[in-house]
Amino acid sequence: MATAKLNNLRVLVTRPADRSAEFAAALTEAGAAVSLQPLLDIAPLSSPEHSEAMQKSRSLLMNLDSYQQIIFISVNAVHYGLDQIDQYWPQWPLGIQVYAIGAATAAALAERDIAVHHSAQAMNSESLLACADLQHISHSKILIIRGVGGREHLAEQLRQRGAAVDYAECYQRCKPDIDGGQLRSLLLQHSINIVALNSGETLAHFSDLMGEAALTYPVLVPSDRVADLARAQGYQTVIQADNAGTAASLVALKRYAESNPSIHH
């Protein structure tokens, strides 16, 4: 068992419902009180507005063997992407290098018996782009499997290096059914003094729901980029982890707790 170090922290975990268990358990083991309220839901593409994305993804995945590299952006990309790929490829095509962003994504691929290239330790787009195998990719065809929308940085950088990059968008991110009043009540009821926000999109939704009151809550964020977004919005206390993984998040929270022994909100 981990030594209790986060006893004064009351953390709101806002990850999608099926992605919060490991982090919540680790927080509890470290002594924190944990409340769960997803601020982002993940769903398959089903509505008419996504018919074009669905058709495009189907066409790209049917021609999977035309790509030299495939990048899975998240655990959700693995689950929804491989469910579609399995329809067209009972056996994984040979000769494709598979990359994962984040240890959890790499583990999800391993569970499905997909070998991840040795850049599996890449925890974000920036660290993946630093991988030696992706430096000289002129004339390569790369497929990025992700949800609808999202950052363009990875594809832009790969294209600058001479690669042809396509997106297969296999799921969507939705706002859950909660309003600002309900969220404020939850924060007060549980005396929350840390809000864990796992992405820029989750940060934006928290800010929209809470208004000015959001800025008084210390927020845990997973990267320089999201930290910069939070500071630009006026958040008073931004706790920055090295990445979105559980271990990095705990390190950042322990550092914060040690430097703020009388934490309250």
Per residue in 118-133, pLDDT tens?
665 678 888 899 988 8
**pLDDT value, residue 215:** 97
When pLDDT is averaged across residues 23-35 and rounded to a whole number, the result is 96
Please give the pLDDT value at position 264: 56
pLDDT score for 89: 94
User: Which one has a higher pLDDT value, 120 or 186?
Assistant: 186
Mean of the pLDDT values across residues 206-223?
A: 96
Residue-level pLDDT at 48: 67
Count of H helices and E strands in the chain? 10, 11
Note the helical H segments in 63-216: 75-88, 103-111, 125-129, 153-160, 180-189, 200-210
If we measure between CA atoms, which residue out of 41, 126, 114 comes closest to residue 78? 114
Give the residue-averaged pLDDT of 214-241.
Answer: 96
Q: Which of 19-23, 67-71, 154-158, 188-192 has the lowest mean pLDDT?
A: 19-23
| Residue partners of 77: CB distance under 8 A and separation at least 6 | 105, 145, 146, 147, 170, 171
> What pLDDT band is residue 204 in, cutting at 50, 70 and 90?
very high
Pairing of strands 97-100, 69-72: parallel
User: In the prediction, which pLDDT does 238 show?
Assistant: 97
What is the residue-averaged pLDDT of the chain?
A: 91
Q: What are phi and psi of 214, to 5 degrees?
A: -60, -35
- At residue 147 the predicted structure's pLDDT band, cuts being 50, 70 and 90, is very high
pLDDT digits (tens, 9 = 90+) for 98-118: 999 988 899 999 999 999 986
Q: Is 116 helix (H, G, I), strand (E, B) or coil?
A: coil
CA distance 17 to 151: 22
Average pLDDT of the segment spanning 167-175: 91
CB-based contact 158:79 (threshold 8 Å) = no
pLDDT score for 121:
65
Q: What pLDDT score was predicted for residue 150?
A: 82
Contact 223, 244 (CB under 8 A): yes
Tokens 């009821």, residue located:
189
Percentage above 90 pLDDT, the chain:
73
Continuous segment of H or E residues that includes residue 27:
helix 21-29
pLDDT number for residue 212: 95
Confidence of residue 44 (pLDDT cuts 50, 70, 90): confident
Estimate to the nearest angstrom the gap between the alpha carbon of 30 and the chain centroid. Answer: 22
Nearest to 184 by CA among 8, 6, 12: 12
Q: Which residue has the tokens 């705990």?
A: 250
Interacting residues of 74 by C-beta distance below 8 A, sequence separation 6+ = 101, 102, 105, 146, 147
